Amino acid sequence: MKFTMGWLKEHLVTKFNDQKIIDKLTNVGLEVESFQNQKSELDEFLVAKIIKVEPHPNADRLSLCDVEIGDDNIVKVVCGAPNAKSNLYTVYAPPGAVIPKSQNKLSVSKIRGVTSYGMLCSESELKLSNESEGIIDLPSKHYSKKIGKKFFLNKSPKVVDISITPNRADCLGVKGVARDLAASGAGKLRIQKKSKINFSGLQNIKVQISRDKNQGCTAFGSCLIKGIKNKESPKWLKDKIISLGQKPISAVVDITNYIMLDLNRPLHAYDADKINQKIIVRNSKNGESFEALDNKKYTLENNMCVISDNSGVLGLGGIIGGTRSGTELNTKNILLESAYFKPESIRYTSKKLNLDTDAKYRFERGIDPNSIEEGLIKAAELIQKICGGTISKLDIKKNENFKNSYIKFPIDLFENTTGFKVSDKEIIKILSDLGFSIKKNKKDLNLKVPSWRPDIAQPIDIVEEIVRIKGYDQIKTIIPQKTRNKQTLNKQQKLFHFLQRSVASKGYYETVTWSFTDSKINDFFKEKKNDITIVNPISSDLNVLRSSIFSNLVFYLKKNLDRDIKDISLFEIGPIFSGKQPGQQEIVIAALKSGKVSRLDWIEKGRVVDVFDAKRDAVKSLVETGLDQKKFYIKSKTPNYYHPGKSGAIYQDKSSNLPIALFGEIHPNIIQKLDIKTEALILFEIFLDRIILSKSKIRDKKKKYEYSDFQKSERDFAFIIDKDFDAQELVKIISEIDESLIKNVKIFDLYVGENIPKDKKSIALSVTIQSFEKSLNDHDLEKINDLIISTVQNKSGAKIRS
Amino acid sequence: MSDIIKIKDEYLIKLSNNLDLNDVNQIKSELFGKNGKISNEFKKMGSLSADDRKKFASELNSIKDELQATIEKKIKEIEVSEINKKLQNEKVDVTLPERSFSRGKIHPVSQVIDEISSIFSEIGFSVAEGPDVENEYNNFTALNTPDNHPARDMHDTFYLDDKKKLLLRTHTSPVQVRTMLSGKPPFKIIAPGRTYRSDSDQTHAPMFHQVEGLHIDKNINMGHLKGCLNYFIKEFFEVDKIKMRFRPSHFPFTEPSAEVDIGYTLKDGKIVIGQGDNWLEILGCGMVHPNVLKNVKVNPATYQGYAFGIGIDRLAMLKYGINDLRAFFETDYRWLNHFGFDPLDVPSNYRGLSR
């Protein structure tokens, strides 16, 4: 919403200066976005100084000037003026400027092979005089300190631009803004003179509002103005329109716009001679079409509120008029419309047609239904004044009568809500200044809500009115109490924050990427899940919700590899989606690592990352959260984006249905198809929501502290075993033989190759044996030794390697 | 008698020479071996008279002790000098690099969420969450934003179905709805999380982060709201004084509504919070609208309170001098390294929010 201070003061008598008005506007909730001169094309022309002049290499009559244009910026300009010389102050037009005389828009161009950035101007080019011999020579005395400043003073009035929240339709007109200011003590609302209009004759174009279901129009006021001479608007009107950055069109159109901006009362003017017999306000029928004033053709669906005549649709009520009945400079007779359209109807139609206009914006937020007559009279009077003509009597057709709303306002609600008190007297003053009619009844105020405030519906809205006019700075600051009745984080949230830092502490950089992704990349990571498509994505490569975080991580990995960073460790913690219903999502950590460990290291040999790096990071993170690694169960089946032979799934225990983590190398196909240039790429994922958290604290879960000081023995074994047999099983078999004696089982070697059958592998383990009761003698150790060998052989078919 | 003194003197001289470990062992066996000189002297004792024997034994034992002590001392000396000699050859260039280590980073948004949670934890808020995909009811209707309300246009919404019933939440406010529907007042929560709007330019990202705050109890008024936000802003920016301005605004789900600006100045192109005449809008807030309370089955005659919504990314930018919002989500390794935080740097009230 824009207006000039002068316009505001047509409605407001005030002693406030501009700055005080600006501050007040923001304080009452009409946030001032800017207060500056309307931009002018002439703003571009700058005072400049020629620093150096050289002859043009390819043209005798041209010279090449170095021109200072402010802030020590120097540009090269080709100039044909004979008077171009160094130390000359003149006027510079940059590329983009429009030359007043020729109306040519400058661009950076080559003149006889030399690039010229802009132009130096003569008086005639700037329409200052007819002097076209040479460029302007400004007196250095006046201009030496003005280099880079605008040459033309911008005389356009300063324009206030306020952002109006959707509830404040009343402030989309200057008068409404003035009313708020007056209520807040900035001045007095100016009482408008009663117009002395001479009505002559009847409005004889019949208007009919049809009784359609969900009729969007409740009232249609009109009058005929006959015998006008439409013309260019007078200067005062043009200036008003221009000051708001709009283009004047003709007196009739400018007047309707002026009334809209002034009173927030949209009007429409028809060329009465182009209306076929009568006006029918009705619902549209599917397939009807018309050409609107934006020169586009619209095809309508059922139930859009249209203004029509016997030939068809003239326009969309409250949104846009049609070309068929538009006014022109030669229009003689006009029908002026001032109507009320329901916000929901306007919204429905404009959304369907994707149409946004000034009128639509206003009707959608709610126009004062009682302003129909005022708008007609004010506009008709102005039209008559400027264009002549006779004004018919007003014709107001109504389908529904507007009823003011009433609110019973308990006065103490104000203090209960805001925490401070305002006297009853002052409350009544504020509300009455805002247009409320008030009856006081002990502890309540019975309020009649002004017709221009459709947003006010209940007592709490009244509280807002009072507090915003009184000023939010009146609200006290109550210092918060430092008490806590509930834990800040629940267990699941603690796990989130713990794992986030746990993974980062292993050398991974945390990133945050969109929750949506490119379906083409997502396909690699979604297995059999369905696409969850976004109906209106910002671009076609961000068109689905991610089924996995890896689609984004891999995409950005590639970008970083392209920056020639080789060893990259990234992770993200966030949601992945399995369906489009709320809640069909789970929290996942996804991490990847590319390249080498110890690349170009003077002391350690470099090696590419592998599946066991991924496993270490996944397992360690899980163990750090307090889970028992001994219960973990590893399976080799993983989703298809992992390398089928070099990946695994970690289950919290053997009976779990779903893995809590996955790890492995990425499937080589993905590397190839996405053209990822790295030596190796490993991944792991942790599914936070699948982790079953114990209700007890870690301290409560710990076993009693026990230790043995008896002699400890370590025995080594090497078993030859089927290649497919899981090492995890072998360790388990040994561990379970006698848990009171076997303290630890550690694999220290794996061998395949010579001296071992092709389908077998050799696993060497070190077993720690210790008793709580005694030092074990040779006989005891021999016994357990034999038991280990025989049990392993029986349960796994392995043979001890001799 | 003189024999043993002679032996003693002879060997003490020998032991004072520059010897190696072998030489000393040789001497040791010459003296104390089976046929060693001292050993032999002990053998002689049997042939002496009782009186002489006593005297001789005493003499001999003291000489033996002296020689043994000297030998032990000599051995230790040699060992020390040998280690010292060896050490001279073991010197490395310690200015060579250590074995390599890697250091991870926490994203600024995560760090700032932890900072925010830490601050609100102090004054009794707990953290609540809700899903990213929401239904139209929780995101709009329950929040007093009916279908034909123009405020819906202010949220450019991503939809997941043609009927516009399922969407990506445009703010964290639906967590208010979920929290209140699933519990009984009082409520005192913050809800940080991802939010989505379908606009994208230099200063808007299609995904960003908000933290929602909600405090509902008996007798909670706008003074509490002001106090809470004043406390938060001061703690967050770690300054003693803050310039703060409450300005009337409009959100369908609060009434009265306010936007909050904080004062700042520019020093050397950097924003300094807490002073100066420029205003920066940082959050929206207000008293929860009675219609919202009714929608979530809370009686507005008994309970009232405030809600606020803060842009997390914006706060992170202001506090840590980050200029470009888009960069938060572009995973540039160099950017993450530059603006990321050490994982051990956990914001807490007693160790300080930030280093």
Convert the pLDDT of each residue in B40-49 to its tens digit. 888 888 888 8
Are residues B137 and B13 part of one domain?
no
pLDDT at B200: 78
pLDDT at B203: 81
Are residues B285 and B146 part of one domain?
yes
Interface of B with A in 180-219 (CB under 8 A): 188, 194, 196, 198-200, 206-207, 219
Are residues B157 and B82 part of one domain?
no
pLDDT at A133: 83
**Residue A387: strand, helix, or coil:** helix
Residues of A in contact with B191 (CB under 8 A): none
Are residues B156 and B58 part of one domain?
no
Contact A166, A255 (CB under 8 A): no
Distance CA A712, CA A743 (A): 9
Range list for CATH 3.30.56.10 in chain A: 2-38+156-189
Residues of B in contact with A417 (CB under 8 A): 221-222, 256, 287, 304
Q: Hey, are the CB atoms on A478 and B149 less than 8 Å from each other?
A: no
Q: Which helix (H) or strand (E) holds A41?
A: none
- Cα angle, residue A316 at apex, residues A312 and A322 outer, rounded to 5°: 65
Are residues B188 and B149 part of one domain?
yes
Are residues B249 and B186 part of one domain?
yes
The radius of gyration computed from the CA coordinates of chain A, to the nearest angstrom, equals 41
Q: Please tell me the total count of domains within chain B.
A: 2
Range list for CATH 3.30.70.380 in chain A: 706-800
Q: Which helix (H) or strand (E) holds A358?
A: helix A358-365
Min distance B108 CA to chain A CA atoms (Å): 9
Of B124, B158, B289, the CB nearest to A483: B124
Min distance B86 CA to chain A CA atoms (Å): 23
Interface of B with A in 267-326 (CB under 8 A): 287, 289-290, 304
B2 pLDDT tier (thresholds 50, 70, 90): low
pLDDT at A629: 94
Q: Which CATH number fits domain A491-690: 3.30.930.10, 3.40.50.150, 3.40.50.1820, 2.40.128.120?
A: 3.30.930.10
Q: What is the pLDDT of residues B110-154, one digit of tens each?
A: 999 999 999 999 999 999 999 999 999 999 999 999 877 766 766
Region for B136 from its dihedrals, namely left if φ exceeds 0, alpha if ψ lies in -120 to 50, beta otherwise? alpha
Work out the widest C-alpha separation in chain B, in whole angstroms. 131
**Fold for domain A2-38+156-189?**
Phenylalanyl-tRNA Synthetase; Chain B, domain 1 (3.30.56)
Please check whether residue B109 touches A, CB under 8 A: yes
Q: Hey, are the CB atoms on A538 and B200 less than 8 Å from each other?
A: yes
Please check whether residue A605 touches B, CB under 8 A: no
What sign results for the dihedral spanned by CA atoms B232, B233, B235, B236?
positive
Assigned domain for B347 exists:
no
Q: What is the pLDDT of residues A416-453, one digit of tens each?
A: 999 999 999 999 999 999 999 999 998 999 999 999 99
Assigned domain for B345 exists:
no
Assigned domain for B121 exists:
yes
- Token digits for A445? 């105020």
Q: Cis check for the bond before B256: say yes or no (omega within 30 of 0).
A: yes
pLDDT at B150: 67
Q: Which long-range contacts (CB under 8 A, 24 or more apart) does A664-669 make?
A: A664/A611, A664/A614, A664/A638, A665/A610, A665/A611, A665/A614, A666/A554, A666/A592, A666/A641, A666/A642, A667/A640, A667/A641, A667/A642, A667/A643, A668/A643
Residues of B in contact with A478 (CB under 8 A): 221, 223-224, 226-227
Assigned domain for B256 exists:
yes
Residues of A in contact with B102 (CB under 8 A): 506-507, 569
Of B109, B132, B219, the CB nearest to A515: B132
Are residues B211 and B72 part of one domain?
no
Which residue's structure tokens are 């032999």?
B40
**Residue B103: strand, helix, or coil:** coil
Residues of A in contact with B347 (CB under 8 A): none
User: Which residues of chain A are modeled with pLDDT < 50?
Assistant: none
Interface of A with B in 479-518 (CB under 8 A): 479-490, 493, 497, 500-516
Assigned domain for B331 exists:
yes
Predicted TM-score (pTM) of this structure: 0.86
Note down the domain range covering B59: 2-89
- Best of B105, B184, B229, B259 to substitute, by most chain A Cβ atoms within 10 angstroms, is B105
What are the residues facing A762 on neighbouring strands?
A720, A751
Assigned domain for B180 exists:
yes
Burial B288-323 (b: 16+ CB within 10 A, else e): bbbbbbebbebebeebbbbbbbbbbbbbbbbbeebe
Are residues B128 and B55 part of one domain?
no
Q: Which helix (H) or strand (E) holds B60?
A: helix B50-89
pLDDT at A765: 96
What are the residues facing A121 on neighbouring strands?
none
Please check whether residue B329 touches A, CB under 8 A: yes
Q: How many CB pairs under 8 A join A and B?
A: 257
Are residues B70 and B136 part of one domain?
no
Assigned domain for B96 exists:
no
Are residues B117 and B80 part of one domain?
no
Interface of A with B in 437-476 (CB under 8 A): 458, 460-461, 463-464, 467-468, 472-473, 475-476
- Token digits for A319? 């949104």
ipTM of the complex: 0.89
Residues of B in contact with A533 (CB under 8 A): 160
Contact A254, A248 (CB under 8 A): yes
Of A480, A559, A603, the CB nearest to B227: A480
**Fold for domain A706-800?**
Alpha-Beta Plaits (3.30.70)
Pairing status of strand A206-209 against strand A633-635: unpaired
Contact A665, A595 (CB under 8 A): no
Among B246, B289, B287, B303, smallest CA distance to A476 is for B246
Q: Hey, are the CB atoms on A475 and B219 less than 8 Å from each other?
A: no
Domain A206-398 carries which CATH code?
3.50.40.10
Q: Hey, are the CB atoms on A460 and B96 less than 8 Å from each other?
A: no
Interface of B with A in 55-84 (CB under 8 A): none
Are residues B122 and B225 part of one domain?
yes
Assigned domain for B145 exists:
yes
Are residues B292 and B159 part of one domain?
yes
Name which residue leads in pLDDT, A122 or B275. Answer: A122
**Residues belonging to chain B:** 355
Among A349, A336, A398, smallest CA distance to A370 is for A398
Range list for CATH 3.30.930.10 in chain A: 491-690
Q: Which CATH number fits domain A41-143: 3.30.1330.90, 3.40.50.850, 2.40.50.140, 3.40.50.300?
A: 2.40.50.140
Min distance B143 CA to chain A CA atoms (Å): 15
Interface of B with A in 126-145 (CB under 8 A): 126-127, 129, 131-135, 138
Residues of B in contact with A28 (CB under 8 A): 248
Q: What is the pLDDT of residues B172-226, one digit of tens each?
A: 999 999 999 999 999 999 999 999 999 877 788 999 999 999 999 999 999 999 9
User: Nearest 5°: phi and psi at A614?
Assistant: -65, -40
Q: Hey, are the CB atoms on B287 and A165 less than 8 Å from each other?
A: no
